[in-house]
Chain A
């Protein structure tokens, strides 16, 4: 008996789901990102309004003052959905683990001058509370925002912020005794340098407009904090003074900030380009939040970088304004 094996080609009748095809057409198979994103927002059959907020539907675009004809225009240039995002983060986690191993096996932390180590703890540890605030605010966007293209990456971003907070915690434990975390919290709650920033972060928790909180947290707060602290303080100041180990152990934050900026920029640029009204709103939010963030960072820049603190912060602010101009804003 002979068995004849043959390959048969079966052409699928449709290349993707019709709710995805409405956005990308059916002439070729849709990507996983497109299938996980387009048409996924629940839009109808809300029989009851939420008892906790009867002014709005369960999913309601009017929770934000920003008006978009179609919220799916806010695409993520990184094309993150759960699968690609976890794979990207797993790779970065592996890189961080090997950095920790490198630093620990060569005892690089103890080769840092004590003064510098204390300075790093003093500046970095309280920032885990800022990162936790970023987690809260992005959860808020994911919960109350509209359109999967906007809310899904926000929920991934929320987890990333939590990851940053955890990396800072781990950095603290690598640098010093666990009590350094309590000292950081104490400074966050009571030290005068941190109060303006804490006030700002806590004020951001009560903003009810998901797009305003997106601009405040992801553009203004993180957009000024990361270049100043992880760029100028850690990678320039600390690394040059014998703290390369710290720079290695905070590599994720720099890389992540650069990567997620592409998403933040794309969202802001697209929303601002849709109408003059949107642009005016986003402009106003960007200006007021970035101004406040700038002022809140003054004492922290001085604590971190001494005499050069204020001028460095001004450089960061000028670059931030240039970035906003590129997005079509006038901040």
Chain B
């Protein structure tokens, strides 16, 4: 079992994304360091558009998170509704 991770700048735009990730991935842990939040999760991590929209109260395009995205590790599977990180061995 290995971890995937994703890191964002800490600001108002990334907050609903981080909240949505924490809601959708019960095994994920968020570590805040100055200006940065890094979220680790065992095996896989999913980001759902619908959950972000619930947090935000407005429509959201998953591409918007790229603005605040710092780094990530894992294989990406992405479409309009979700963004998944995992290791496809």
Chain A residues within 8 Å of B, Cβ to Cβ: 7-10, 31-32, 76-79, 84, 88, 262
Q: Which residues of B contact A79 (CB under 8 A)?
A: 56-58
Q: Contact between A88 and B12 (Cβ–Cβ < 8 Å)?
A: no
Which applies to chain B's interface (DSSP): helix, strand, loop or mixed?
A: loop
Q: Contact between A78 and B57 (Cβ–Cβ < 8 Å)?
A: yes
Q: Which residues of A contact B34 (CB under 8 A)?
A: 7-10
Q: Which residues of B contact A84 (CB under 8 A)?
A: 58
B15 at the interface (CB under 8 A from A): yes
Give the residue name and chain of the B residue nearest to A32 (CB): B12
Q: Which residues of A contact B58 (CB under 8 A)?
A: 78-79, 84, 88
Q: How large is the interface on B (under 10, 10 to 19, 20 to 34, 35 or more residues)?
A: under 10
Q: Which residues of B contact A76 (CB under 8 A)?
A: 57
Q: Which residues of A contact B15 (CB under 8 A)?
A: 31
Roughly how many angstroms separate A78 CA and B60 CA in the complex, as a whole number? Answer: 12
Q: Contact between B56 and A9 (Cβ–Cβ < 8 Å)?
A: no
Roughly how many angstroms separate A7 CA and B35 CA in the complex, as a whole number? Answer: 10
Given contacts A7-B33, A31-B12, A78-B57, list 8 more A-B pairs with CB under 8 A: A8-B34, A9-B34, A31-B15, A32-B12, A76-B57, A77-B57, A78-B58, A84-B58
Give the residue name and chain of the B residue nearest to A7 (CB): B34
Q: Which residues of A contact B12 (CB under 8 A)?
A: 31-32
What's the least CB distance linking B35 to chain A, in Å?
8
Roughly how many angstroms separate A10 CA and B33 CA in the complex, as a whole number? Answer: 9
Q: Which residues of B contact A32 (CB under 8 A)?
A: 12
Residues of chain B from 1 to 38 with CB closer than 8 A to chain A in the complex: 12, 15, 33-34
Q: Which residues of A contact B57 (CB under 8 A)?
A: 76-79, 262
Q: Which residues of B contact A262 (CB under 8 A)?
A: 57
Roughly how many angstroms separate A84 CA and B12 CA in the complex, as a whole number? Answer: 11
Roughly how many angstroms separate A262 CA and B57 CA in the complex, as a whole number? Answer: 9
What's the least CB distance linking B8 to chain A, in Å?
15
B15, B34, B58: most-surrounded residue (chain A CB, <10 A): B58
Q: Which residues of B contact A77 (CB under 8 A)?
A: 57
What's the least CB distance linking B23 to chain A, in Å?
14
Give the residue name and chain of the A residue nearest to B32 (CB): A9
Q: Which residues of B contact A9 (CB under 8 A)?
A: 33-34
7 shortest interchain CB distances as A-B pairs: A79-B57, A78-B57, A77-B57, A9-B34, A7-B34, A32-B12, A78-B58
What's the least CB distance linking A250 to chain B, in Å?
20
Give the residue name and chain of the B residue nearest to A8 (CB): B34
B15, B56, B57, B58: most-surrounded residue (chain A CB, <10 A): B57
Contact string against A for B residues 48-81, beta-carbon threshold 8 Å, 1 for contact and 0 otherwise: 0000000011100000000000000000000000
Q: List 14 A-B contacts (CB under 8 A).
A: A7-B34, A8-B34, A9-B33, A31-B12, A31-B15, A76-B57, A77-B57, A78-B57, A79-B56, A79-B57, A79-B58, A84-B58, A88-B58, A262-B57
Roughly how many angstroms separate A76 CA and B57 CA in the complex, as a whole number? Answer: 9
Roughly how many angstroms separate A32 CA and B56 CA in the complex, as a whole number? Answer: 11
Q: Which residues of B contact A31 (CB under 8 A)?
A: 12, 15
What's the least CB distance linking A252 to chain B, in Å?
15
Q: Which residues of A contact B56 (CB under 8 A)?
A: 79
What's the least CB distance linking A50 to chain B, in Å?
35
What's the least CB distance linking B63 to chain A, in Å?
14
What's the least CB distance linking B88 to chain A, in Å?
34
Give the residue name and chain of the A residue nearest to B36 (CB): A7
Roughly how many angstroms separate A31 CA and B34 CA in the complex, as a whole number? Answer: 18
Give the residue name and chain of the B residue nearest to A263 (CB): B57
